[in-house]
Each structure stands twice: as structure tokens, then as C-alpha cells.
Chains A and B, each alone.
Chain A
Amino acid sequence: MSQETIWDRLQRIDRRVIYWLLFILLILPFLRPLGLPISISPQSRSLLEGLRKLKEGDVVVINISSGVSAWPECLPSLVAVSKVLIQQKAKIIYWTSFVDGHMTFEKIVEKVPGFKGLTYGVDYVHLGFYTGAEPTVAQLATNIRAIFTTDYKGTPIDQLPIMKGVNSAKDVKMVISSDTGDYGDYYIRQWRIPYGVPFAEIGIAMLFSNYQPYWPEIVFGMTGGAKGGAELEKLIGEPGDATVTMDAINTSHLLVVVAVILANLGYAATRRRR
């Protein structure tokens, strides 16, 4: 019987050991922040530059296609973008394709102090939930009232001053989509291309590579996950949740990198022996 080497033992580590290590590494930075540096990507920078070009009264649609489970990824960017939109005195219309999207909207309002000086229905509104994927997004581009007859509280849309004269994509200056799936593509195909509405993407980290080819011609700016949120927070000079989260993500990634290296070394060593 051949002697068991350290490489054999490494390949047989119980997955629970890795999970516990990961959990501990994720927790520690919250208790003692490391303050690791955050580099700014050109995509985040161009998102902010695009937002800064907005003028007072411009109508901006924020599509929330990410649920509560994606808050660590998407919420920091949504909060940062809403802060900038308020500074630009833009009118913000939120709507969502997620059933729990209203919770995200309410969280944004809670986290952005600027909303306290604004009036709901006049300066910002949440029209609520829509279903139907791409056909609905196409319908929204031609007639918003065909999908939304009231806001999420049940107030008829025509009684909301912010909606006066806002009927279709032609009346919207910019659309921003917060996604965990395909909705960004729908808005590119149904809003950006046919109507030329400037489009920005706030996606989870997984989507960053998907939208990279669209930047900057089709998608003028974008952020990827918590990293993108931390970049925006740094750009606007208001560190928030994503800045704290990035330390935890960095330490956990270190574990993943070490695990990948060890696994490959172990594989190479045992293969050579065979």
C-alpha cells in the first residue's frame, strides 16, 4: 500500500472545512474593516459622467430587476445612482419586474437622505410590479399606461404630477436597469436601439462580462456587483455598504485563489505519480 502524501490529504479535505473557513473569512472584515484600496473602472466613471449630464426635470427610469437576495450586489449602486439623480434634480420613475421590488425601492428611499426633501409622486414615484419579460418592456416603450394604470400604492397614474406628459420611451431621458438576469438586454433591444434612450446597467458581478462588449457604444456606463457599487461610492465621495462588503469579498476570494492553486498543485502532483 502506497504512503499517503500531503497532496492526497489535500484532495480529500471535507468541503465543510472550506465552507467554515469561508464563513469566518467573510465575517472577520465586518468586525475589523481592512480598508483595502478600491480601483475605479472606466465603466463606473462613465456611468457617473453620464448621470452628471442630466438637467433639472429630466425623467429617468430605474428598472429594478433584482430581488432582495441581490441587495449586497445591486443596492449600493442603486443608492449611489439615486443620490446623483437627486443632486441633478432629475425626476425618477422606478418600476420592477420582481415581486419583492417594492422592498428594494423602499430600502433605496430609506438609505438616500435626499429623498426627505422631495415629494413622492412629484419628484419620484414607484409604479410597481410588471410581468411579461421582453414583450412588456417593448410595450412600456410605446405606452407606459398600457402596463401601469396605478402606482404601487394604488394611486391612479394620471393623478401623479410626475407622470404628466410621460407616456413612452420618447419622454424618458435615460433608463437604468438593475439586473440579475436578462432585463438589461430587453431594454437595449426595446429602448436603447429603437428609441435611442441612453442606457446604463447596474448588474450583478456575473453580468459584467456580458455587458462589457456593449460599453460604451450601446451601454454608456455600468457597474458590476458590489465592486461597482464600491467604485460609485468612492466616486461620489460617500462610502457605504459596498465599501465595507468589498473587504469581506476580497478575503473570501483570497481563500478561493489559494484553494484553486492547491487543488491544481495536488492534481498535478498526483497525476505525475500515476
Chain B
Amino acid sequence: MGYPTTIDGILGIWTALALMLFVYSYPLYKENQLFRFAEHLFIGLSLAIAAIIAIQTTKRLAITPLMEGKVYYIVPILLGFMMYLILHRDYRWVSRYPIAILVGSSIGLGMRGTIIPNILSQIIATITPPKPGADATAWFNFVYIGIGTILAVMYFLLTFEHKGPLLYPTRLGRWVIMIGLGAYFGNTVLFRMAMLSGRAQFLLQVLGLVPF
């Protein structure tokens, strides 16, 4: 894709750039009218799109089949409407039924595939040593994950006071948790920078300093 050549294309990228700069004016300068304009525009447009998508999806997945004679589609439609009664003080209790169905079915579905990947496979992976010929890093990871898991779990032994034989293992467990959270934070920073780099690249592309 090259630099847009049509009027609407050029107008589109310059509008996008202007709105982007309005948004960044908050961290790079201070709160101002332009920032608030972009913020309100974004919220308004997001809400409008969400409403349209919700109506279209309800029509496609429920109303159309109902009109085609699938009478049982009335059940999810009614449950959906019951949900909105949460806004009415006197009939709020009615909304608990669809919410209960939603929560119950989601938990049931979630449970189905949870035991194997989140418990069994991870225990097996933790206690399985590296294959013969594996490098030192693999062995370090194996030992670190094995011991680290035990220490981190020990930190959550809250029914015993962390002193005596539990003092040092729980302290080490806290360090292991902190290292884990640090790695997670590092990845979060990486993600935010990548998002920002996309905007920086867009700025240069619109200004014609780097190719689109």
C-alpha cells in the first residue's frame, strides 16, 4: 500500500493523525480542549458502533431464525430482555435468572477444558526433566521452575505463621513470585511500546518521511 492518492484517503489519514495528536497532547502537554474533543468523539463513536453491532448480531442470530419459524429462539430473546430489568428497581430480581444461566453455563463450559491444561499438563511439565542432550539453560529452567513452584506455593500457606522452618522458604517464594510478576510487567511494557511505535510509524508515514 502506498501513500493514499484519493481525496477521502488523504483526508482520512490526516484526520486520523490530527485526532492522534489531540490524544497525545494530554501526556505530552496537559489536559486541553482538543484532547477532550478527541476523547468524547472516540467514546461516542465506540458506543455507536457497539450498539449497531449488538442490534445486527441479535437480528442475525435470534430475530431472523425466529421469523423463519424457529419458535424456540424466543427463549434467548426473552432472557436477553429480562437482563435489562436490572435497571428497574421493582423488577430487578427478574434479571437474576438470565445472569444465573449465563454464569452457570460459562462456568460449566470453562470447567470442561480446565483440568487438563491448567492442572494436569502443568504438573507433568513441571516434573518432567529435559530430554537427554538438552543444554544447560533447559536444566536450569527445569530446576528453577520445579523449586520455584514449590516455594511460591509455600508462600500461600497462610494457615501457618511464616517463621521457623517456613521462614526462608516463604521468603524465597515471595522472591520467585516477584520475579514472575517482573517478567509479566516487562512484557506489558513491551506491549505498550509496540503500540506506541505503531503510532510513531504512522506519524512518519503521514508526513511522508517513511513509506506507507
Mark A residues whose CB is within 8 Å of B: 15-16, 19-20, 22-23, 26-27, 30-31, 69-73, 99, 110, 129, 131, 133-135, 138, 147, 149, 188-190, 192-194, 204-209, 213-214, 217-218, 224-227, 244-245, 248-249, 252-253, 256
Which B residues lie within 8 Å of A193 (CB)?
Answer: 112-113, 116-117
Which residue on chain B has the smallest CB distance to residue A241? B201
Residues of B10-61 whose CB lies within 8 A of A: 24, 27-29, 49-50, 53-54, 57, 60-61
Q: Are A209 and B53 in contact (CB under 8 A)?
A: no
| Interface residues of chain B: helix, strand, loop or mixed (majority) | helix
A151 to B73 alpha-carbon distance, docked (Å): 22
Q: Are A73 and B191 in contact (CB under 8 A)?
A: yes
Q: A16-B28, A129-B57 are in contact. Are A27 and B203 (CB under 8 A)?
A: yes
Q: Choose from A189, A207, A213 the contact partner of B113 (Cβ within 8 Å).
A: A189
Q: Are B29 and A131 in contact (CB under 8 A)?
A: no
A193 to B203 alpha-carbon distance, docked (Å): 44
Residue B190, interface by CB 8 Å: yes
Q: Choose from A23, A188, A205 the contact partner of B200 (Cβ within 8 Å).
A: A23
Q: Are B28 and A23 in contact (CB under 8 A)?
A: yes
Q: Are B113 and A190 in contact (CB under 8 A)?
A: yes
Q: Choose from B50, B54, B117, B190 the contact partner of A188 (Cβ within 8 Å).
A: B117
Residue B121, interface by CB 8 Å: yes
Which residue on chain B has the smallest CB distance to residue A76? B194
Residue B153, interface by CB 8 Å: no
A147 to B61 alpha-carbon distance, docked (Å): 7
Q: Are A26 and B193 in contact (CB under 8 A)?
A: yes
Nearest CB of B to A55, in Å: 27
Q: Are B200 and A256 in contact (CB under 8 A)?
A: no
Mark B residues whose CB is within 8 Å of A: 1, 24, 27-29, 49-50, 53-54, 57, 60-61, 105-106, 109-110, 112-114, 116-117, 121-122, 124-125, 180, 183-184, 187-191, 193-198, 200-201, 203-204, 209-210
A134 to B110 alpha-carbon distance, docked (Å): 8
Q: Are B112 and A194 in contact (CB under 8 A)?
A: yes
A210 to B194 alpha-carbon distance, docked (Å): 18
Nearest CB of B to A181, in Å: 12
Nearest CB of A to B127, in Å: 13
9 contacts between A and B (CB under 8 A): A16-B29, A20-B28, A22-B196, A26-B197, A30-B209, A189-B114, A190-B113, A208-B187, A248-B193
Q: Are A224 and B187 in contact (CB under 8 A)?
A: yes
Q: Are B198 and A245 in contact (CB under 8 A)?
A: yes
Nearest CB of B to A80, in Å: 16
Q: Choose from B106, B110, B193 the contact partner of A252 (Cβ within 8 Å).
A: B193
Nearest CB of B to A132, in Å: 8
A23 to B207 alpha-carbon distance, docked (Å): 16
Which residue on chain A has the smallest CB distance to residue B126? A213
Q: Are A30 and B200 in contact (CB under 8 A)?
A: yes
A217 to B118 alpha-carbon distance, docked (Å): 11
Q: Are B197 and A226 in contact (CB under 8 A)?
A: yes
Q: Are A189 and B109 in contact (CB under 8 A)?
A: yes
Which A residues lie within 8 Å of B110 (CB)?
Answer: 134, 189
Q: Are B203 and A249 in contact (CB under 8 A)?
A: no
Q: A19-B27, A190-B112, A217-B124 are in contact. Are A31 and B210 (CB under 8 A)?
A: yes
Q: Which of B24, B105, B189 has the most CB of A within 10 A?
A: B189
Nearest CB of B to A271, in Å: 19
Q: Are B200 and A26 in contact (CB under 8 A)?
A: yes
Which residue on chain A has the smallest CB distance to residue B28? A19
Q: Are B116 and A131 in contact (CB under 8 A)?
A: no
A23 to B122 alpha-carbon distance, docked (Å): 40
Nearest CB of A to B41, in Å: 16
Which residue on chain B has the smallest CB distance to residue A188? B117
Q: Are A256 and B189 in contact (CB under 8 A)?
A: yes
Q: Choose from A149, A213, A248 the contact partner of B197 (Cβ within 8 Å).
A: A248
Which A residues lie within 8 Å of B124 (CB)?
Answer: 217
Nearest CB of B to A264, in Å: 13
Q: Are A135 and B204 in contact (CB under 8 A)?
A: no
Nearest CB of B to A97, in Å: 11
Q: Choose from B27, B49, B61, B196 the contact partner of A26 (Cβ within 8 Å).
A: B196
A134 to B107 alpha-carbon distance, docked (Å): 10
Q: Are A99 and B49 in contact (CB under 8 A)?
A: yes
Q: Choose from B50, B54, B204 the contact partner of A30 (Cβ within 8 Å).
A: B204
A23-B196, A189-B110, A206-B188 known; 6 new pairs, CB 8 Å cut-off, are A15-B27, A19-B27, A73-B194, A226-B194, A245-B198, A248-B200
